[in-house]
Amino acid sequence: MEHKIAALRSQLADLGQEHVLAGLSSGDSSQRQSLVDQVSSIDLPLFRRALADVVRTLKGNKNRLDKQPIPPKPFPQAKWEGLHEWISSSGDTSNEKDDTARWWSEGLRLVADGEVAVLVLAGGQGTRLGPGAPVAKGMLELSVPEPKSLFQLQAERLLLVEELAAFVTDDTIKRRIPWLVMTSDATDLATRTFFEEKNFFGLEKSQVWFLKQSSLPCVDLDEGHAMLMEAPWKVAMAPAGNGALFSDLRTAGFIKKLSSQGVKYVQVYAVDNALVRVADPVFYGFIHRRQAEVGVKVVSKIHAKESVGVVCLHQEGASNLKCERYGVLEYSEMPESLTTAKDNSGQLQFRAAHICINMFSVHYLEKLTDLDSQLEFHPAVKRIPHMRKTSGIWETVNPARPNGIKLEQFIFDSFQSCDSEKVALLEVSREEEFAPIKNAVGPGIADTVATATELLLALKQRVSALTPEIGAVSKGFALLKAYAGGATESATSDLVNLSIE
């Protein structure tokens, strides 16, 4: 124990963080042991690199506009208006009249062949959603009109795609789509318990793979950036951002597992999007046909000053050796000349809003496990309650303004490691695929449970009005309508349990 503490003191002193072990001079043996165990588990070399990235950014020595941003190349739109023609009463999809229908059919074949998976970023807490919000955002219920949690809605959409793929390919055995659920320290236990209590929403337990997002210490905003202490015997930690996904997948052994099972594509999305099309066959088919390594769903900005990050290209290198790489430019980083710039058709040049629905080939995920050290860390300046020792006494600090930094990697920084020709953007309808839940319900407040529910019910109503092109309503068309409508029907579970006709 003493040897271990001495080694930790030396490592922390090298980082200027020796105050972290101040709690060893008080407390009982279990508290002191808990502190030693926690500090021993922190990846200190990674912390050093992350802090160096963040300090460089805070000092203004790193600006993404150093790499000239240019608008992305033209990208297609997914159009679901003709979905009533995609599956006739016999389940035939040969009558494909547009690109979206072709992508849909191709995607269902990939599902039937066991070549796809899904990963949900579910580490977020419901702390900003007001009193009574669940520990994990995915447990949040929407009345559509029957109460369904975000996890249930997403699980049922996945089940519908499995059923559709079996129906369209006339396969008597349904392929199970692996659903990777990425939690955090704060949501892991609650999420696992919730899935168990809900019998995995009808999914096979074996197809749900849990992995926990890695965390790094929070640091003080003041110069010196000391690690903040949640308690005398506990360092304040925070998830390392959605960009930590790639190293976490490697650590869990899931990339090798996906590859060994023949999976080629993994859709990645955020749990708090109530309209996300989980295991979207259109997205799978689009990426496959484009032979892309990275897929990015985007929606058009509502107006020039909408505060969203936009997908763009960055030009790098000398004039005679310039290359273009995709990335996301945050609204706060964009000068007005870029936010308001328009093309010849009158549309905003930088209008492709990133909505955190991405696709990665397993081949590219394998590559990223060797490149994750290239993903920079960014500062998330937050108000972080903590404890500090002053004149030998521990006191609680509840700051009135942002006082600390969380060290985060962004998933979209992974785009820059991919050849731009292997990155494919697909525009989708905001009204059909993007209903984020970020805020507590209130008058005039956007992105709440109320606004998401309204959008989901509106989609349900539009899809319910559709009728098949010919013949009676088949199971195939009923499944398609249920999926396109967001799995809002109360009888979705009954529908997916029907035998293949």
What long-range pairs does 329-334 form, CB within 8 A, spacing at least 24? 329/64, 329/69, 331/306, 331/307, 332/307, 333/63, 333/64, 333/65, 334/310
Q: Which residue has better confidence, 228 or 337?
A: 228
Q: Classify residue 108: in a domain, yes or no.
A: yes
Q: How confident is the model at residue 80 (pLDDT cuts 50, 70, 90)?
A: confident
The CA distance from 220 to 225, in Å, is 5
Which percentage of the chain shows pLDDT scores above 70? 91
Per DSSP, what are the bridge partners of residue 273? Answer: 436
Tokens of 349: 């040049």
Q: What share of the chain is helix, strand, coil (3-state, %, to 5)?
A: 40, 20, 35
- Whether 131 and 160 map to the same domain: the answer is yes
**Element housing 21 (H / E):** none
Q: How confident is the model at residue 472 (pLDDT cuts 50, 70, 90)?
A: very low
- Position 299 scores a pLDDT of 97
Q: Is the pLDDT of residue 62 over 90?
A: no
The CA distance from 289 to 103, in Å, is 8
Tokens of 20: 């972290």
> Cα Rg for the chain, rounded, in angstroms?
24
- Position 93 scores a pLDDT of 47
- Whether 91 and 2 map to the same domain: the answer is no
Residue ending a domain, among 409, 427, 454, is 409
- Position 184 scores a pLDDT of 95
> How confident is the prediction for the chain on average, in pLDDT?
90
Residue numbers of the domain that contains 401: 1-63+215-241+378-409
Rama region for 385: left / alpha / beta (φ>0; ψ in -120 to 50; rest) = beta
Q: Classify residue 317: in a domain, yes or no.
A: no
The CA distance from 176 to 412, in Å, is 28
- Position 470 scores a pLDDT of 47
- Whether 16 and 131 map to the same domain: the answer is no
- Whether 84 and 183 map to the same domain: the answer is yes
Q: Classify residue 79: in a domain, yes or no.
A: yes
Q: Is the pLDDT of residue 425 over 70?
A: yes
Over residues 464-469, mean pLDDT: 70
Contacts of 141 (CB under 8 A, 6+ apart): 147, 148, 149
First to last CA, the chain: 66
Residue ending a domain, among 361, 387, 409, is 409
Q: Is the pLDDT of residue 392 over 50?
A: yes
DSSP 328-384: EE-GGG--HHHHT-B-TTSSBSS-EEEEEEEEEEHHHHHHHHHHGGGSPEEEEEE--
pTM of the model: 0.92
